[in-house]
Amino acid sequence: MPQKKMFLGLTITDGYGSNNEAWRRADVDPSSYTNLDVAVRNAQAAERGGFAFLFTPDFPAVRSNVARSTIQNTMDPMLTLTVIARETERIGLVATGSTTFQEPFNLARQFKALDVLSHGRAGWNAVTTSDPYVAANYGQPVADRNDRYRRAHETVQVVQALWGSWEKDAWVKDQESGQFIDMDHLRPINLQGEYVASRGPLAIPPSEQGQPVVFSAGGPSPDMLALAGRYSSAFITEVWTIPEAQAQRAAVRDAARQAGRDPDEIKFVVGLMTTVAPTVRAGLDRRLSLAGDVTPQRVLQLGQMFGLRLEPGRLDEPLSAQELAAARPSDDPRAESALEVARQGWSVRDVLAHGVIDYHPVTVGPGKVHADHLQEWFEADAADGFWISPDVYHDGVDAFVDEVVPILRERGIYPDGYSGATLRDHLGIPDQYGADPRIAGATAT
């Protein structure tokens, strides 16, 4: 039996990197946010490394004080990925689209158009947006959770029905006979739900993969699991430990099973933030030169994670033997791995520079460090694939492709190249056109 292989995705946001200070580095174009050549270059580098997809999260709002930090979002995911589609050949293009604020007809139209123009490489990350800044931009309060999820079920059902409404053999385009469309195969869907509705049909033919692949991103709440279990082919998540990831992956697979699907049809995708450098020390110095990791608040937070009182100015010494013996990791899922780093004897500054308080696990150092992490998680059934966020994209994507990917390939746990042309091929998920006949209509009728 061929060995199971992991897949990788690359996060695409504002073009700078996952480190807040990436935009300030002298070799980084400070206009990367609007310079699509930068996005294209990053996409081409990821494609060179055989990445299965690019992933653009989307929070269309100014959500924090951006006086000194960047926007951390693309200007517009669909337009960015459309530009990238024209400059790449294989890599999948996964954009986020809100089931809370967007109309299903718009979603169906834009995503299927992206799928057709990219020759079957599009994915839709269907999110139940709950961010108050985003809601305000749509002139609305944050909707009640129950309403958001009911609307999400209806929206995905209507979108998938619209995708299938131009049936596979509808487009005759016979110049001789003059028949353009076989109207028996281009039909309205006439769906009317409680929240959304559409008559259809959608005037877009199938792509090389039929229709876009549906993704979910979120935490494992029962509502989210029920949604993803029914419709999604990939579940993007943030987890810090292998046991946490194993439990979530099992829950996601179980949700698919309960919806009458094969659990292998939904892939579990875990985040990783990377700093690739010749040595761990060089990687820590690279991170420290960007600041961000080391602030007085983070020293205090680290102390809380260890159940210790750490003074904010206490940066240059490691934890003493007594402190390490007294340390009790808090409930924070990052606490145990942070303590492991502290036990290696790093100073408080260097412990923080390992990214122990970041929003995903962080790996720092030569290619082997990153490859070991990915292999350990993959072989523990904690992930089917990973979404990678390099610290500074300018050189971080190429470094990952040149230093990490060859090791993964050597170890036989990562494909040598693309074996197919579509996103479905890269993820190893089955064909689907229109709604999944195994999933009974929940709310839309």
Ligand X SMILES: Cc1cc2nc3c(=O)[nH]c(=O)nc-3n(C[C@H](O)[C@H](O)[C@H](O)COP(=O)(O)O)c2cc1C
d(CA 312, CA 85): 47
Shortest gap between Cβ of 102 and ligand X (angstroms)? Answer: 11
Judged by beta carbon, residue 132 or residue 260, the one nearer ligand X is 132
Judged by beta carbon, residue 219 or residue 345, the one nearer ligand X is 219
d(CA 263, CA 254): 7
Judged by beta carbon, residue 57 or residue 193, the one nearer ligand X is 57
Three-state DSSP class for residue 320:
coil
Judged by beta carbon, residue 306 or residue 387, the one nearer ligand X is 387
Amino acid making up residue 246: Q
Shortest gap between Cβ of 238 and ligand X (angstroms)? Answer: 4
The DSSP output letter for 429 is -
Shortest gap between Cβ of 58 and ligand X (angstroms)? Answer: 5
Shortest gap between Cβ of 269 and ligand X (angstroms)? Answer: 9
Judged by beta carbon, residue 25 or residue 267, the one nearer ligand X is 267
Considering only CA atoms, which of 323, 324, 339, 400 is closest in space to residue 365?
400
| 3-state helix, strand and coil shares in percent for the chain, rounded to the nearest 5 | 40, 15, 45
Beta bridge partners of 386: 8, 270
Shortest gap between Cβ of 73 and ligand X (angstroms)? Answer: 8
Shortest gap between Cβ of 134 and ligand X (angstroms)? Answer: 6
Q: What is the Cα 310 distance to its own chain's centre?
A: 34
d(CA 255, CA 14): 33
Shortest gap between Cβ of 366 and ligand X (angstroms)? Answer: 27
Judged by beta carbon, residue 209 or residue 248, the one nearer ligand X is 248
Considering only CA atoms, which of 254, 277, 278 is closest in space to residue 264?
254
d(CA 99, CA 101): 6
Shortest gap between Cβ of 276 and ligand X (angstroms)? Answer: 22
Contact 416, 39 (CB under 8 A): no
Q: Residue 408: how many CA atoms within 13 Å on its side-chain side?
A: 32
∠ at Cα 80 (367, 224), nearest 5°? 75
Q: What is the Cα 3 distance to its own chain's centre?
A: 25
Residues that bind ligand X (CB under 6 A): 57-59, 96, 98, 127-131, 145, 148, 217-219, 221, 223-224, 236-238
Which pair of structure tokens corresponds to residue 93? 């293009």
Judged by beta carbon, residue 224 or residue 319, the one nearer ligand X is 224
Three-state DSSP class for residue 98:
strand
Judged by beta carbon, residue 226 or residue 242, the one nearer ligand X is 226
The contacts found for 232-235 with CB under 8 angstroms, 24 or more apart, are 232/126, 232/266, 233/265, 233/266, 233/267, 233/424, 233/427, 233/429, 234/123, 234/266, 234/267, 234/268, 234/269, 234/385, 234/427, 234/429, 235/266, 235/267, 235/268, 235/269
Cβ atoms within 10 A of the Cβ of 73, count? Answer: 19
Shortest gap between Cβ of 221 and ligand X (angstroms)? Answer: 5
Judged by beta carbon, residue 62 or residue 203, the one nearer ligand X is 62
Judged by beta carbon, residue 42 or residue 129, the one nearer ligand X is 129
Shortest gap between Cβ of 274 and ligand X (angstroms)? Answer: 16
Q: Which residue's Cβ has the minimum distance to ligand X?
A: 57
Shortest gap between Cβ of 1 and ligand X (angstroms)? Answer: 32
Judged by beta carbon, residue 212 or residue 365, the one nearer ligand X is 212
